């Protein structure tokens, strides 16, 4: 069995990580650390979130720093301030017994003058978010000309957040001769391009299967009607009494609404989104880390960089636009050798998204049924009884009160006592789920049968006054576009009610669709700047569909959709 000492780490670093409880390296640490200590090569490491990547690059980084030189020699770039803070904290802990080594985290949301003052005193390792680092460079407050090592932590996240140009500009300030380490959970095309452009013959290490999900995570989905999404969420939570979870939503508004409903319904929950100040975010995360909160409702951006290792569940209230984002969400659970469950609450017309994710993570989702009221009550009852039977009785404290309590309860026999106890502790669930309906839908409830679609055609042809706007997209079959994907995107538009969709035509590298003209602005907004299979979508209003592309009966690539209900 390999130990950290076997990896060639110096004694002072070993002493620091031993105090943190590090005993045996994780697979990514076992592969990366000895390679970087020996050869100092450019490296691309693909490993899931929570596999010990910070120590994998942090320990070699400390090893090669010269504390006697005041110049900045190592740079770690992170997508979010939370991750930036955590990485700097971890590297500082690893280097506890390295004299005179200074590590600084620089990120937005805090005073830049304080960071500038610390940089002037001399810092060997800087951990930074791209935005704040660019600001420091523009102010000439940091010098990157002596950098020996650059680390991209969660590179795919940085690129997905739109930092590609910022990274290019930052790298232009660093010397050509340096070691570059790129750590990523997935390997999209943009990450591969960064590796090709800025790295010299990089060694690629893949921990597990490239772009695959963690083997410790069970992937489940619940098929529901969209109007029952919140009700299904409550049942899933109630059916897991010991749940400790992040619930992912698509927008800040949805995050706020879902968290508000959960709090109102008595759940120990709170929201984390971009409208919170840094102090508010720190307060929420502090409560969540110490489990004063059981449920955190968050957007993808807000949750990036959170360092919580023992989540039992990750719940996708809505799926993300990109399959790669699901990999990061699900990677929040099943960490540090623990088992975890990633759950998707899925509307029937979103099933195509699930197939895309399955292909990406190379795992099959398990279809589960939304639990019934009786099942939930049974599960909660078992938890309650377990808590009662396992409670520690302090005889010394109870003894003075016991006789009075026993006298007051003497008129109740054992059965009555049990019934009253259960009613007192359990009435909320019994009452709420007394007449609970079945929330499950079958796979048959999708976009309608061929006969339904023929009815749609007849309706469309018999209502010529309905005004449709024709849109052109710059993506088609070659980019993996299917009609269900386009329909799903339109279905996700909020606060507009029913939107009628006309003809959809999927060609090799383009697509056209007709949508109720009253919603032109909303459709443009829904597609603009979104990405499908790694390609940025461009959408514009077309005057008409060219005659040769008009639907003329059954034709490959055409699809007619029943009106949205």
pLDDT, tens digit, for every residue of 161-180?
778 888 889 999 999 889 99
Pick the more confident residue, 322 or 257.
Answer: 257
Residue 33 is assigned to a structural domain of this protein: yes
Q: Of 30-39, 151-160, 387-396, 426-435, which range is least confident?
A: 426-435
Highest average pLDDT, of 36-45, 59-68, 392-401, comes from 59-68
Altogether, the residues listed in the chain come to a count of: 565
Q: How far apart are CA 223 and CA 439, in angstroms?
A: 9
Same domain for 180 and 33: yes
What are phi and psi for residue 305, nearest 5 degrees? 90, 0
Same domain for 137 and 79: yes
Q: Return the pLDDT at 202.
A: 86
Instruction: Count other C-beta atoms under 10 Å from residue 128's C-beta.
Output: 26
- Residue in the structure block whose two tokens are 């309906």: 437
Domain C-terminal end among 206, 238, 269: 206
Q: Return the pLDDT at 537.
A: 81
Q: At 261, list the tokens.
A: 């409903």
* Domain, as residue range, for 411: 375-432
Instruction: Count other C-beta atoms under 10 Å from residue 443's C-beta.
Output: 9
Instruction: Count other C-beta atoms under 10 Å from residue 479's C-beta.
Output: 18
Strand order in the sheet with 103-106: 103-106, 125-128, 74-77, 149-153, 179-184, 43-46, 203-206
Q: Return the pLDDT at 543.
A: 61
Q: At 129, list the tokens.
A: 């978010």
Q: At 343, list the tokens.
A: 């759950």
Long-range CB contact pairs, 514-521, < 8 A, 24+: 514/468, 514/469, 514/470, 514/471, 514/545, 515/468, 515/469, 515/471, 515/490, 516/466, 516/467, 516/468, 516/469, 517/467, 517/468, 517/469, 518/467, 519/493, 520/469
Q: Return the pLDDT at 208.
A: 59
Same domain for 221 and 73: no
* Helix pair angle (27-38, 53-63), 10° resolution: 20
Q: At 119, list the tokens.
A: 């940089």
Q: Of 17-26, 148-157, 201-210, which range is least confident?
A: 201-210
Q: Return the pLDDT at 23.
A: 82
- DSSP-derived pairing of the beta strands 366-368 and 313-316: unpaired
* Helix pair angle (323-330, 351-361), 10° resolution: 70
Answer yes or no: is pLDDT of 563 > 60: no
pTM exceeds 0.75: no
Q: What is the pLDDT of residues 223-274, one digit of tens each?
A: 998 889 999 999 999 999 899 999 999 888 899 999 999 999 889 999 988 7
- The CATH number of the domain where 500 resides is what? 3.30.70.330
Residue 437 is assigned to a structural domain of this protein: no
Residue 31 is assigned to a structural domain of this protein: yes
Pick the more confident residue, 449 or 31.
Answer: 31
Answer yes or no: is pLDDT of 547 > 50: no
Q: How far apart are CA 347 and CA 445, in angstroms?
A: 9
Q: Return the pLDDT at 216.
A: 83
Residue 438 is assigned to a structural domain of this protein: no
Residue 396 is assigned to a structural domain of this protein: yes
Q: Return the pLDDT at 211.
A: 47
Closest CA to 561 of 321, 349, 354: 349
Region 115-142 average pLDDT:
94
E strand spans, 196-250:
203-206, 217-224, 245-249
Same domain for 229 and 105: no
Same domain for 347 and 284: yes
Q: How far apart are CA 444 and CA 203, in angstroms?
A: 48
Q: At 99, list the tokens.
A: 């004299």
Same domain for 181 and 197: yes
Region 422-450 average pLDDT:
69
Cα 186 to Cα 192, 298, 331, distances in angstroms: 10, 21, 11
Domain C-terminal end among 206, 230, 251: 206
Buried/exposed code over 61-87 (b: 16+ C-beta within 10 A; e: otherwise) = bbbebeeeeeebbbbbbbbbbbbbbbb
Sign of CA dihedral 158, 160, 161, 167: positive
Give, for 382, the enclosing helix (H) or strand (E). helix 373-390
Residue 445 is assigned to a structural domain of this protein: no
Residue 321 DSSP one-character state: S
Q: What is the pLDDT of residues 454-487, one digit of tens each?
A: 444 444 444 444 588 998 888 888 777 877 778 8
Sign of CA dihedral 187, 193, 199, 200: positive
Q: How confident is the model at residue 15 (pLDDT cuts 50, 70, 90)?
A: very high
* DSSP helix/strand/coil, 540: strand
Q: Of 54-63, 220-229, 540-549, which range is least confident?
A: 540-549
Q: How far apart are CA 400 and CA 409, in angstroms?
A: 16
Answer yes or no: is pLDDT of 546 > 60: no
Same domain for 180 and 43: yes
Residue 224 is assigned to a structural domain of this protein: yes
Same domain for 337 and 226: yes
Domain C-terminal end among 177, 206, 235: 206
Q: Return the pLDDT at 529.
A: 65
- Residue in the structure block whose two tokens are 């409903």: 261
Total of domains in the chain: 4
Same domain for 226 and 88: no
CA angle 460, 464, 470 (to 5 degrees): 75
Answer yes or no: is pLDDT of 304 > 80: no
Same domain for 362 and 224: yes
Give, for 553, the enclosing helix (H) or strand (E). none
Same domain for 235 and 200: no
Residue 526 is assigned to a structural domain of this protein: yes
Q: Give the whole-number percent of the chain exceeding pLDDT 90.
A: 33
- The CATH number of the domain where 323 resides is what? 3.40.50.300
Same domain for 383 and 358: no
Closest CA to 281 of 257, 310, 258, 252: 252
Q: Return the pLDDT at 213.
A: 52
């Amino acid at each position: 069995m390999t130990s950290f000492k076997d990896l060639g780490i110096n004694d002072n670093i070993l002493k620091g990580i031993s105090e943190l409880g590090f005993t045996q390296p994780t697979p990514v640490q076992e592969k990366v650390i000895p390679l970087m200590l020996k050869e100092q090569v450019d490296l691309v490491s693909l490993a899931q979130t929570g596999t010990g990547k910070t120590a994998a690059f942090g320990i070699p980084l400390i090893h090669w720093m010269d504390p006697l030189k005041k110049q900045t020699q190592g740079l770690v770039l992170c997508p979010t301030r939370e991750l930036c803070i955590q990485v700097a904290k971890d590297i500082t802990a690893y280097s506890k017994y390295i004299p005179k080594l200074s590590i600084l985290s620089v990120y937005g949301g805090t005073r830049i003058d304080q960071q500038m003052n610390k940089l002037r005193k001399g810092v060997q390792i800087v951990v930074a978010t791209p935005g704040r680092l660019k600001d420091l460079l523009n102010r000439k407050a940091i010098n990157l000309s002596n950098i020996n090592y650059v680390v991209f932590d969660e590179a795919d996240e940085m690129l997905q957040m739109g930092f590609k140009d910022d990274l290019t500009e930052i790298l232009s300030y660093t010397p050509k001769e340096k070691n570059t380490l790129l750590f990523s959970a997935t390997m999209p095309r943009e990450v591969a391009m960064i590796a090709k452009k800025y790295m010299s013959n990089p060694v690629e290490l893949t921990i597990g299967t490239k772009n695959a999900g963690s083997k410790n995570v069970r992937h489940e989905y619940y098929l529901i009607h969209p109007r029952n999404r919140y009700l299904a969420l409550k049942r899933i939570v109630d059916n897991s009494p010991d749940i400790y979870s992040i619930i992912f939503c698509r927008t800040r508004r949805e995050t706020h609404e879902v968290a508000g409903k959960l709090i109102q319904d008595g759940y120990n929950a709170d929201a984390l989104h971009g409208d919170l100040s840094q102090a508010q975010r720190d307060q929420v995360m502090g409560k969540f880390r110490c489990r004063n909160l059981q449920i955190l409702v968050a957007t993808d951006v807000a949750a990036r960089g959170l360092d919580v290792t023992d989540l039992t569940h990750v719940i996708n209230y809505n799926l993300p636009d990109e399959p790669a984002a699901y990999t990061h969400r699900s990677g929040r659970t099943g960490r540090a050798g623990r088992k975890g469950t990633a759950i998707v609450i899925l509307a029937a017309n979103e099933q195509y998204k699930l197939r895309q994710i399955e292909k990406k993570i190379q795992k099959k989702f398990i279809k589960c049924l939304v639990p019934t009221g009786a099942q939930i009550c049974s599960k909660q009852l078992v938890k309650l009884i377990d808590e009662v039977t396992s409670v520690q009785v302090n005889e010394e404290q109870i003894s003075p009160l016991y006789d009075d309590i026993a006298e007051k309860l003497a008129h109740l026999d054992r059965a009555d006592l049990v019934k009253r106890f259960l009613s007192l502790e359990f009435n909320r669930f019994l009452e709420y789920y007394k007449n609970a309906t079945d929330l499950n839908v079958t796979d048959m409830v999708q976009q309608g049968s061929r006969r339904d679609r023929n009815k749609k055609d007849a309706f469309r042809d018999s209502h010529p006054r309905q005004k449709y706007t024709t849109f052109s997209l710059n993506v088609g079959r070659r980019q993996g576009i299917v009609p269900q994907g386009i329909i799903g995107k339109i279905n996700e538009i909020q606060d507009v009610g029913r939107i009628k969709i006309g003809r959809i035509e999927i060609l090799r590298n383009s697509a056209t669709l007709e949508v109720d003209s009253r919603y032109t602005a909303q459709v443009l907004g829904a597609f603009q700047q979104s990405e499908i299979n790694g390609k940025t979508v461009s959408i514009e209003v077309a005057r008409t569909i060219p005659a040769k592309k008009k639907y003329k009966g059954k034709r490959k690539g055409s699809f007619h959709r029943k009106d949205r209900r």
